[in-house]
Amino acid sequence: MQKVLSNKLAIFLFVFPGILLFALTFLAPIVLSFYYSFTDTLGPGTKLTMIGFENYKQLLLHDSRFWRSLLNAVLLGLGFIILQHPVCILFAILLDRLGGKAEKIFRTIFFIPCVISVVVISRMWLNLMDPSFGMVNKLLDIVGLSSWKHAWLGDTSTALISLLFILIWSGFGWGLLFYYSGIKGIPEDLYEAAHLDGASGIKLHWKITVPLLSPVIAVQVTLAMITALKQMETVFLTTNGGPGDATQFLGVYLYNKAFSASQYGYANAIAILFIIVCLVATYLSNRFIPSENA
Amino acid sequence: MNMKITYRKVNLITTFVLMVGILAACGSDNTKEDSQSTGNKENKSVTLRLFSNQPDRKSGQGLAEQMVVDNYMKENPNVKIEVEAVGDEPFRNKQKAYMASNEPIDITMVHSGADLNTLIQAKFVTELNPKDYEGQNYNFFDGAFKSFTFDGKLYGLPRNSDYEIIYYNKKLFSDNGVKVPTTFNELIDAAKTFRSKDITPMSTNGKELWTFGLLFQDFAQRVNGDPNAILDAVDQKKSFTEDDSFLQTAKLMKQFMDVKMFQDAYMTADYGSSQNLFTQGKAAMWYMGSWEAGMASNEKLSADFRNNLGVMRVPLVEDGKGKATDLLAWNGGGYALTTSSIHPEEAKKFFDYMMRADQWAKAAWDTGAAVPAQKYQLTGKESEVQKQLTDILNNGTSMPGASFIDFGTPGFKDDVQNALGKFFAGTATSEQLIADFQAAAAKQKK
């Protein structure tokens, strides 16, 4: 067996199917996309004219909708990092300290949004935020804040923030789960030692839990940025990028350009820039967020 | 030693053969199995695939379509027709995916204009001979092929005469003492009265944006009295910005927003939810097309609603040049044969059968699903709504024959819809809307 594995031909044969699969499902589409991005084709199978960097020029210099989509994605990413993750860490710590049956129950409750289908979540929030029969406005009525009532997803001034809220809410369980398992991996004796040294409360967690969670935080920040950039389904199912372009995201914009506007070449140029933006975001978050154990 | 080398070789060859086998199995083509022909030549059984945008097969146009399919299968027991039906928005996108992958569907519903143009450029739909569809068997109205003809070649047949009207709830109007509006100002007054009584004046599907395009075109026609003006502007024979009637129209649209004509969350409402609001009696009016005539006979809707369903013409603009009878009419939906069909001859036989005046047109009219694009016989059992619709069509004047958002490229449509989205969301002014229209039209002509 060892001899088979030391044979280069054998190694090649074993690795080849994996590489082939990777090449066909990842590299080939990217290469094809790259090729299409230099054309003005309406869709696969239609007339194809090479137009050089025209699509990229249009996108980068004249397409405010593209920049709006990117800005919204970055805002969502920041929303994840600044709002969602600290709350996730806080709840993970509280959950860990809770112990017993209650810990299990709450763990399940917090994870429920993650097992609900995106379609159901989108529909549910569309209904909850509906201005005429939605529960959000009804609650505002009950607590005497009728003046705050709003067409939450239908008004340009509140659509983005409402959508960010839905996305942060629906992704909360995943963040919590990661941090929770990270906290479970911190040895209890570290806390005991810190207690003996006089640390307690917030200080204890600030000095012990958070630094020891830094590898998890680093991965989570990267994932949050990527998730934000890739956001598509919930937006598509709730606002489809509207009203106006208030909630336009790269995924939805790309999809609509490719399939509704039949600007397939242009959509592929968006896809290529999309890949580049994702790679840069990953690089930056890996570069600037320390992931080593303190 | 020799033995060892042989053993190693056998091992390697076996591994390689296994991998090739696995990969080959992954790539096996099973698409043809779905619509395979079996049996002998005389009576071979054939499965045809019809791709439709009518998922409700029990009422409206879906029912009419299914009736024709069932009739054909009864007369041709060797033919089985599989219907794949999804709602209109997913339908449009899935159709593009089918076009890209050359999916072997046989007959497909098509949207005329920009969408059909893309299918033609991808060589996904078959050219038809217009002579095949002349005469008593078909009885198409004059000009019905306009939006299905490109460079003088016909690629599909229309299924309906589409025109925009306002459906309204008679009870809500009479209970609140509101006069059925015949002019723009009366429509605005009606909206104010309904709003003061906490009733949504008009429901619309703002999320999908195309209704705004039709609404704009409808009122532009009433302002300038020329149904072709907007189509000429799309073609850049004239400019959107230089013809003042378009800016005037945009200002009328702005008034709709100022009096809160539409439901509060109109920008997130899709077709279904806007229709529900109206059919549940929560909105007094619904600006939609003649293809919704089936509401009057749809038993899923409450009897109270059906009995109170009325149809009105789009109101006249007081100082405009248009006439009350001007109609925004065109042929939007239809059917086409695909080039990817595995049984093109059988598919054409069914297609020709389906489009006969005594099949689709009759089924659509008898079920009250739509107003056909072919001459149809009145049965005497028509609903009040159908009678009104026939009257509006027969007396219609100045019909443009095309919806302006579909009169250009798909890219133009996207740009125009985006401009409408910004305008109706309140983030663009009337002047900006018209400037955006002009930019979109100029861009597609480049």
**pLDDT recorded at residue B370:** 85
Alpha-carbon span A169 to A83, nearest angstrom: 10
Mean per-residue pLDDT, B56-69: 91
Instruction: Give the pLDDT mean for B310-324.
Output: 93
Q: Does residue B339 share a domain with residue B320?
A: no
**Residue B35 covered by a domain:** yes
Which residues of A are less than 8 Å from B15 in CB distance?
A: 10, 13-14
Q: What's the confidence (pLDDT) of residue B27?
A: 42
Is residue B146 domain-shared with residue B177, that is, in the same domain?
A: no
* Tens of pLDDT, residues B367-380: 888 888 888 777 88
For position B224, what pLDDT does the model report? 93
Contact A263/B282, CB-based, under 8 Å?
A: no
Between CA B88 and CA B22 the distance in angstroms is 39
Confidence of residue B7 (pLDDT cuts 50, 70, 90): low
- Which residues of chain B make contact with A14, given a CB cutoff of 8 A? 15
In-domain check, residue B309:
yes
Say if residue A292's pLDDT is above 70: no
Question: Which positions in chain A touch B204 (Cβ < 8 Å)?
Answer: none
- Write out the residues of chain A at the interface with chain B, using a CB-CB cutoff of 8 A: 3-4, 7, 9-10, 13-14, 16-17, 20, 42-47, 65, 126, 129-132, 151, 153-156, 238-240, 242-246, 256-263
The answer to whether residues B212 and B302 belong to one domain is: yes
Give the whole-angstrom CA distance, residue A90 versus residue A116: 23
Residue B38 has pLDDT above 70, yes or no: no
Same domain membership, residue B300 and residue B171:
yes
Mutate to test the interface with B, among A32, A256, A260, A268 (most CBs of B within 10 A): A260
* Percent of chain B whose predicted confidence (pLDDT) is above 90: 60
Please determine, for residue B34, whether its predicted confidence score (pLDDT) is greater than 70: no
Which runs of consecutive H residues, i.e. helices, occur in B238-324? Answer: 244-258, 271-279, 303-307
Q: What is residue B203's three-state secondary structure?
A: strand
Give the minimum alpha-carbon distance from B16 to chain A in angstroms, rounded to a whole number.
Answer: 7
In a domain, B98, yes or no: yes
Residues B437 and B289 in one domain: yes
Per-residue pLDDT tens digits for B388-417: 988 898 888 878 888 999 888 888 999 999
- What is each CA distance from A17 to A7, A22, A31, B16, in whole angstroms? 17, 8, 19, 10
Chain A partners within 8 Å of B23 (Cβ): 17, 20
Q: Give the gap in angstroms from C-alpha B410 to the nearest C-alpha of chain A.
A: 5
Q: Which two tokens stand for residue B220?
A: 């532009």
Nearest partner of B271 among B290, B288, B248, B295, judged by Cα: B288
pLDDT tens figures, B171-183: 999 999 999 999 9
Instruction: Sort out which chain A residues have CB atoms less than 8 A from B19's CB and list them.
Output: 13, 16-17
In a domain, B8, yes or no: no
The answer on pLDDT for A84 being more than 70 is: yes
Give strand pairing partners of B442: none
Binary contact (B93, A14; C-beta < 8 A): no
Contact A261 B96 (CB under 8 A): no
Q: Are residues B282 and B209 located together in one domain of the fold?
A: yes
Domain A63-288 coded CATH 3.30.450.70: no
When scoring B13, B124, B264 by the number of chain A Cβ atoms within 10 A, the one with the most, hence best to mutate, is: B264
Does residue B364 share a domain with residue B256? Answer: no
CB B73 within 8 A of CB B79: yes
ipTM: 0.79
Mean pLDDT, residues B19-43:
46
Q: Tell me the pLDDT of chain A averaged across its residues.
A: 88
CB neighbours of residue A146 within 10 Å: 10
Per-residue confidence (pLDDT) for residue B28, from 0 to 100: 41
Q: Say yes or no to pLDDT of B22 above 60.
A: no
Lowest average pLDDT, out of A7-11, B61-65, B330-334, goes to A7-11
| Interchain pair B102, A242: CB under 8 A | no
- Phi-psi category of residue B261: left, alpha or beta, with phi > 0 → left and psi -120 to 50 → alpha: alpha
- Domain boundaries, position B345: 19-161+331-377
The total of other beta-carbon atoms located within 10 Å of residue B303's CB is 8
Q: What local confidence, expressed as pLDDT, does residue B335 receive? A: 96
The residues facing A5 across adjacent strands are none
User: Stretch A267-284: mean pLDDT, rounded?
Assistant: 92
Predicted local distance difference test score (pLDDT) of residue B39 = 43
C-beta contacts of A11-20 below 8 A and 24+ residues apart:
A13/B12, A13/B15, A13/B16, A13/B19, A14/B15, A16/B19, A17/B19, A17/B22, A17/B23, A20/B23
Q: Which residues contact A291 (CB under 8 A, 6 or more apart)?
A: A214, A215, A218, A219
CA distance B413 to chain A (A): 7
Give tens-digit pLDDT for B87-100.
888 898 899 889 98
Q: Test A259 with B96 for CB contact under 8 angstroms.
A: yes
Q: Looking at the predicted structure, is the pLDDT value of residue A189 above 90?
A: no
How many Å lie between the alpha carbon of A59 and the closest alpha carbon of chain B? 14
Q: Which of A155-159, A287-291, B341-345, B376-380 has the lowest mean pLDDT?
A: A287-291
Put simply, the answer to whether B267 touches A256 (Cβ < 8 Å) is: no
Q: B298: pLDDT confidence band, cut at 50, 70 and 90?
A: confident
SS3 B372: strand
Residue B286 lies in a domain: yes
Residue B136: which CATH number?
A: 3.40.190.10
Rg for chain A, CA atoms, rounded? 24
Of B100, B207, B425, nearest to A45 by CB-CB distance is B100
Residue A191's alpha-carbon distances to A178, A204, B133, in angstroms, are: 20, 8, 85
The label of the residue with tokens 């929030």 reads A125
Rounded to the nearest angstrom, the gap between the alpha carbon of residue B186 and the centroid of all alpha carbons in its chain is: 30
Evaluate whether residue B6 is within a structural domain.
Answer: no
Do B102 and B203 belong together in one domain? no
| pLDDT at B274 (0 to 100) | 93
Min Cα distance A60 → chain B (Å) is: 17
Tokens encoding B397 = 């004047």
Which of A154, A260, A261 is the closest to B265 by Cβ? A154
Q: What per-residue confidence (pLDDT) applies to B172?
A: 96
Q: Do A43 and B206 touch (CB under 8 A)?
A: no
Closest-CA residue in chain B for A45? B122
Evaluate if residue B249 carries a pLDDT over 90: yes
The radius of gyration computed from the CA coordinates of chain B, to the nearest angstrom, equals 26
CB atoms A243 and B97 under 8 Å: no
Contact between A13 and B16 using a beta-carbon 8 Å cutoff:
yes
Of A243, A245, A260, the CB nearest to B414: A260
Residues B254 and B286 in one domain: yes
- What local confidence, expressed as pLDDT, does residue A49 receive? 87
Average pLDDT of the residues of chain B: 87
Q: What are the tokens at B92?
A: 């449009």
Instruction: Flag whether pLDDT at B137 surpasses 60.
Output: yes
* Secondary structure element (H or E) that encloses residue A225, with its range: helix A214-230
> How far is Cα B431 from Cα B423, in angstroms, rounded to an integer?
10
- Between CA B343 and CA B161 the distance in angstroms is 30
Amino acid at B325: T
Greater confidence, A133 or A237? A237
Q: Tell me the C-alpha distance between B96 and B51, whole Å.
A: 12
Q: Are residues B177 and B307 both part of a single domain?
A: yes
For residue A149, what is the nearest residue in chain B, using CA coordinates?
Answer: B264
Please give, rounded to a whole number of angstroms, the shortest distance from the CA of A262 to a CA of chain B. Answer: 6
Q: Are B104 and B31 in contact (CB under 8 A)?
A: yes
B257 within 8 A of B428, measured Cβ to Cβ = no
- Centre a 10 Å sphere on the Cβ of residue A227 and count the other Cβ atoms it contains: 18
Q: State yes or no: pLDDT of A293 exceeds 50.
A: no
Question: For an interface test with A, which of B14, B204, B268 has the most A Cβ atoms less than 10 Å from its Cβ?
Answer: B268
Asked if residue B2 is part of any domain, the answer here is no
Number of domains in chain B: 2
Instruction: Supply A107's token pair.
Output: 């763990």
User: Same domain, yes or no, for B267 and B360?
Assistant: no
What global pTM score does this model have?
0.81
Instruction: Work out the percent of chain B whose per-residue pLDDT is above 70.
Output: 90
Residue B135 lies in a domain: yes
